[in-house]
Every structure is written in structure tokens, then in C-alpha cells.
Structure 1
Amino acid sequence: MQSSGSSWAATASATSNDAPARSRFALRGRSVALDSRIDAVRRDLADIRLADRVFAPHYAVPARRSVGLTTSILDAPDGIVVSQALAGEPFDVLEFTSTHGWGRSPIDGSVGFVPRDVLVEAYDATHVVVAAKAVLHADRSLDRPLPLSLPMGCRVAAVPANDEWAEVDGGYVLRATLLPLGDDVGDAVAYATRLQGVPTIPGGRSAEGVDAAGLVFLALSLAGSPPPRFLDLQAETIGTPLAVGDPLRRGDLIYFNDHVAMLVDSDTAIHADDVVRCEPVAALDRFGPIRARRRPA
């Protein structure tokens, strides 16, 4: 390594067809502390896209892959669940081991390890599932459902077959269960209420299971305003803060130390407790004092 003034110069440790190789780059000013949940940096390796923010012994150019099967993102190969990577989503791999890929989800920003066998060659998804589940059918009829369904949040490469059906890899789904990527607009509360009864699972953010922040992430993302993935970051950055005493309305978010709920109306909220449920706002005091009130943009 060489230094010049307050900058460091280093050599990239990997190349990829997805991004041009850079043989030298500079750290602008002092290295800064990053959040390992969302910034792909370790003591030995960092995403080359962070090279102007943090010093690392080696940098890697991300290799884009697609997720073939919904899976957990872990903080270590045998570690705890950080988030999920959903079927059809891209995943940027910075290091392959014999069993896992370590990298970052460009969808929810989370960093960690995913099993290598769920990663496939990158492909372009065209639609996202907006029904609680999109049931696959063997042909364009409702008479032959396959024992497979795609939960809300998953992405597919779909080709319209007619006004009612779309063809996807493996069968056909009703077009009404899909939304073209880029057309993600609508009412976040309406998306959230479709998930009533869905179980709570660590790191979940699909109709197969959500955690408290994952429910908010999924609903707001489908409505066109993706928030941060993690609860503390949501409480600090989503939309605009509301003062104590400000009237609450549909779509507002109430944050506690370890929980969040979304207002369905001024008296009712939906949230992921043991399952996704609606209940009176007054009943949420069991989660402790309110930490923040936010109004999504």
C-alpha cells in the first residue's frame, strides 16, 4: 500500500463483467465507521464501491447473481438471520466459499451470507408478486393448480399470455397477482392488510413470513417508497417525523424500541406480532414507550 497525503492507494482484488476493474483508487479523507448490516465491509475485504469511504486490505468487484429460491441472509455461514433474499431478486456476491456467497442485496441493502446453491446466473425479472400468494397453474385455467406458489415480494420474469394470464418459468399465474417492476405504486396499508395471518419469522420480508420491520419494508416497497430494512434505521429516516400530539392517519408508523406498527386508521394498526394482525392502537402499549412517529413520503 502507498499513501499520499491523507489518501490511500490500493489494488483491487477481483474483477467482474458487471463493473469495470479499477487498479487504483483513493480514500478521500479518513476512513469512517460503517454499518456492517448494510455496508459490505469486513476486516479483510470490502466492496470496491466503498473504496472512497473506508480502507480495507482487499476490495472486490461485485458479481451479480439472481436468487433462485427464497433464503435467509446470515451474518455468518452458521450465524443468525439478518434478512431474506427473495426468489427472483438480484444478489451482489463479493466472495464465494465452497458453501456460501457473501455479499449484499441491492433490494433491501442487507449484507451477509446466502447458500451458494440458491444463487443462479443473473436474469432480468419483470414483475413482483403483489397478492399474498401467486398460485402456479399447469395451463391457462383454474383447474390445474401446481403444488407451488410464489409469495408476495418474489420476482418473476413473466410474459403476458392473454388479458388474464401470464407465463412464468414453471407455469402460468393470474396477471392480477403481479405488478410490473417500475409500476410499484399504491397504498402500503392495503398491501400490509393482505398479509394478515402471515407468521412472524426472524428476518422475514415476504408472505412466507415477516418480522416487524420486514412488514413495513415489504408494504412500502410495493407502494413505491422502499425504506431502510432495519427497524432502527427506519425509525430515524422514513419520511417525516411527527411530534407528540400530532394527529395520526392511515399509513403513519409508530416505532417502539423493538417493534413497529402501521396505522390502518386513527384507531387501528397492523403489525407483525406472533402473526400479522390488526388491533387497536391502544393495545400497543405492551411494547413500551413510543420511540418515534413517522409519516412515509
Structure 2
Amino acid sequence: MQSSGSSWAATASATITGDTPARNRFALRTRSVAIDSRTDAVRRDLADIRLADRVFAPHYAVPTRRSIGRITAISDSADGVTLSQALPGEPFDVLEFTSTHGWGRSPIDGSVGFVSRDSLIGEFEASHIVVAQDATLHADASTARPLPASLPMGSRVAALPANDDWCEVDGGYVATDALQPLSTDAGDAVDHALRVRGTPRLAGGRSGAGVDAAGLIFLAFSLAGSPPPRFLDLQAETFGTALAEGDVLRRGDLLFFADHVALLVDGETVIHVDDVVRCEPLAALDRFGPIRARRRPA
């Protein structure tokens, strides 16, 4: 994290004495705010207009809402480190367009960064979210002939019922039981996590196609209707309530390590991201070092 050099509450005054040219004097009227570049859309040259009451910037931008057409990385620079992902059907608020990228913020996971411009499409209203690890697209609902495309868990679609078994989406048909209406986020986070067992580890991933440690937690609890912060340190600090070392652990509790997190399936088993998403005995987590935090989501 970093602190802004000043805040929007800064004031300036000019003083003239004889032939001395005017000098601007700046004074903060409120405390400078802490800025996290992963979640606050602020740069040295530009900031989201919605942050104007918190930070000072030379220029402010009004976000342009787009939708994501294909799974894409959210990176800290145009060719930089992957922070997170934007998934098909999700909205993305663009604050600056370049010839190859858009810089802005995901309103779904709160992450700020660059996405590939060719992944952005016109905004549309999604109605359902994919809850199967991978929802195969089919050419029609009568023969269920598969197409060479699929939607990973977490993707969003505008779906219309074709019959009891199939929904029509842009690009084909998806099995009804692979979708969940956005208006009824529900279910058990552990159950959602168990559906992606075998999914490979992927830096910045948070979908059925690949997850990082915090991404698995974000995906599972978001589908259960209680989205946590996207990043591991923020999850360990703020998600749910802290547990003391001697508290009895139960299904759904989270154990945080220096650079890892695991979700309890029961009192003796966890699900977490190793090389893939897997279940292991709680005792096997000793290899990640001491437990730094224990939290119980609300």
C-alpha cells in the first residue's frame, strides 16, 4: 500500500509581498488516505471520478462500462504481472483506453488493472452465473451436439430457458443445472469449492479454468452469496470474524498462512490449491508454516 501525496481536501492560497512573485501554499484539511493500487483506481496521472472525495489527482475519469467477452487477465501493467481475472459476462469499468488495453476496475472482485482491449465487448445484462466447473456450449437443445467452446465456473450469461433441461445463451445452449440465477446466490461455499477439485493452479485465477489460493476462496464464497476481498492479505485481515487459537474449527472456516489459505471441509480435512485444487488432511498443511490467522465467514 501507499499513501496519496495529498487529499481532495487540500487547499491552496497565494501570497504577494512587494516584488516577490505569488507562491502557492498547500495545506491538508483532512488526513491523507491510504491507497492500495490493487483495489483503488488511482495513478499519478489519473483517478476514478468516484474517488474524488478521497484523493487528489491531476485528472479524473468517468468510467465507461463494458462487458467481458472472454476470460482475460487483469494485470498491473499492459504486459505485467497478473493480479486477477475478468470472466466472460462480467462488467468492467474502463477509465482509459489504449490501442491494446483498457485500464480500469472490476466491480465484481474490486481489482484494478489492465485488460486486453479485444476482450471487451458492449455492455449487456447477465441473468445467470455458471456453477458447474465447466459448462459446455452445445449447438442446439434437441441433439445436445457439443461445440468447441465452454464457460468456466464463475462466468456470467444472459440465459433464456429453452426447455426444462437447456438454456439458450449467446453462442449456444447450456445445461440448466450448470447455471444459477444471479438473483438467488445461495448454497454452501464448501460445496462450490468441492466442485472444482482437480482444477489447476493459475496465478491470478478465480474460475473453473484455474485458481490461485485466494481465487478459490473468492469463487466459492461469491457463489454462496458472501463475496470476500479478492486478495489473500485482505481476506486474512477482514473477511468474517477472527478466531482465537483455541477455538474449535468447523466446516467453512478459513486458515491463513504466510502465502496460502485453506478452507475446512470438516474438522480434519481441508480443500485448498496445491498444484491443483485438492482435499487433504488438516495435518498436511504443516508444510506451509505456522497458521497466521483463523477466520469464520459470516
TM-score w.r.t. length of structure 2: 0.90
- Provide the rounded CA distance (Å) in 2 between the counterparts of 1:6 and 1:116: 35
Q: Residues 6 and 95 of structure 1: is their aligned pair in 2 closer, same or farther, counting only changes over 3 Å?
A: closer
Q: Is residue 2:203 matched to residue 1:219? A: no
Residue 183 of structure 1 corresponds to: 184
- Provide the rounded CA distance (Å) in 2 between the counterparts of 1:28 and 1:101: 34
Q: Is residue 2:258 matched to residue 1:257? A: yes
Task: Report deviation, 1:148.
Answer: 1.1
Residue 38 of structure 1 corresponds to: 39
- Provide the rounded CA distance (Å) in 1 between the counterparts of 2:9 and 2:213: 42
Residue 282 of structure 1 corresponds to: 283
Q: Which runs of 5+ in 2 are unaligned?
A: 1-7, 13-27
- Provide the rounded CA distance (Å) in 2 between the counterparts of 1:259 and 1:99: 33
- Provide the rounded CA distance (Å) in 2 between the counterparts of 1:184 and 1:46: 32
Task: Report deviation, 1:145.
Answer: 1.1
Structure 1 runs (4+) greater than 2 angstroms displaced: 5-9, 27-31
- Provide the rounded CA distance (Å) in 2 between the counterparts of 1:62 and 1:77: 19
Q: Which runs of 5+ in 1 are unaligned?
A: 10-26
Instruction: For residue 35 of structure 2, give the secondary structure of its aligned residue in structure 1.
Output: coil
Instruction: Give per-residue Cα distances to partners, 1:180-222, cap 9 Å, x unaligned.
Output: 1121111000000011000001000001100000000000000
- The answer to whether the 8 Å contact 1:31/1:55 transfers is no
Q: Residues 114 and 155 of structure 1: is their aligned pair in 2 closer, same or farther, counting only changes over 3 Å?
A: same
Instruction: Give per-residue Cα distances to partners, 1:223-247, cap 9 Å, x unaligned.
Output: 0000000000000111111100111
- The answer to whether the 8 Å contact 1:202/1:211 transfers is yes
Task: Report deviation, 1:139.
Answer: 1.0
Residue 103 of structure 2 corresponds to: 102
Q: Residues 282 and 97 of structure 1: is their aligned pair in 2 closer, same or farther, counting only changes over 3 Å?
A: same
Residue 272 of structure 2 corresponds to: 271
What is the aligned length? Answer: 277
Residue 230 of structure 1 corresponds to: 231
- The answer to whether the 8 Å contact 1:241/1:293 transfers is yes
Instruction: Give per-residue Cα distances to partners, 1:162-193, cap 9 Å, x unaligned.
Output: 22110001111111100011211110000000
Instruction: Give per-residue Cα distances to partners, 1:93-126, cap 9 Å, x unaligned.
Output: 0000111000000000000000111101111011
Residue 115 of structure 1 corresponds to: 116
Residue 170 of structure 1 corresponds to: 171
- The answer to whether the 8 Å contact 1:28/1:52 transfers is no
Q: Is residue 2:208 matched to residue 1:239? A: no
Instruction: Give per-residue Cα distances to partners, 1:44-99, cap 9 Å, x unaligned.
Output: 00001110101111110100000000000000001000000001000000000111
Task: Report deviation, 1:30.
Answer: 3.7
Q: Residues 288 and 280 of structure 1: is their aligned pair in 2 closer, same or farther, counting only changes over 3 Å?
A: same
Residue 13 of structure 1 corresponds to: none
Task: Report deviation, 1:6.
Answer: 4.7
Task: State, as a whole percentage, how many aligned pairs show the same letter.
Answer: 74
- Provide the rounded CA distance (Å) in 2 between the counterparts of 1:198 and 1:102: 29
Please list, as runs of the form range in 1=range in 2, the aligned pairs for 1:3-82 lying within 5 A after superposition: 6-8=9-11, 29-82=30-83
Residue 14 of structure 1 corresponds to: none
- What one-letter code is carried by the residue in structure 2 that aligns with 1:145? P
Instruction: For residue 78 of structure 1, give the secondary structure of its aligned residue in structure 2.
Output: coil
- What one-letter code is carried by the residue in structure 1 that aligns with 2:269? T
- What one-letter code is carried by the residue in structure 2 that aligns with 1:269? V
- Provide the rounded CA distance (Å) in 1 between the counterparts of 2:278 and 2:33: 41
- Provide the rounded CA distance (Å) in 2 between the counterparts of 1:28 and 1:281: 51
Larger fraction in strand = 2
Task: Report deviation, 1:253.
Answer: 0.3
Residue 87 of structure 2 corresponds to: 86
- The answer to whether the 8 Å contact 1:28/1:53 transfers is no
Instruction: For residue 64 of structure 1, give the secondary structure of its aligned residue in structure 2.
Output: strand
Higher radius of gyration, 1 or 2 = 2
Residue 21 of structure 1 corresponds to: none
- Provide the rounded CA distance (Å) in 2 between the counterparts of 1:71 and 1:149: 15
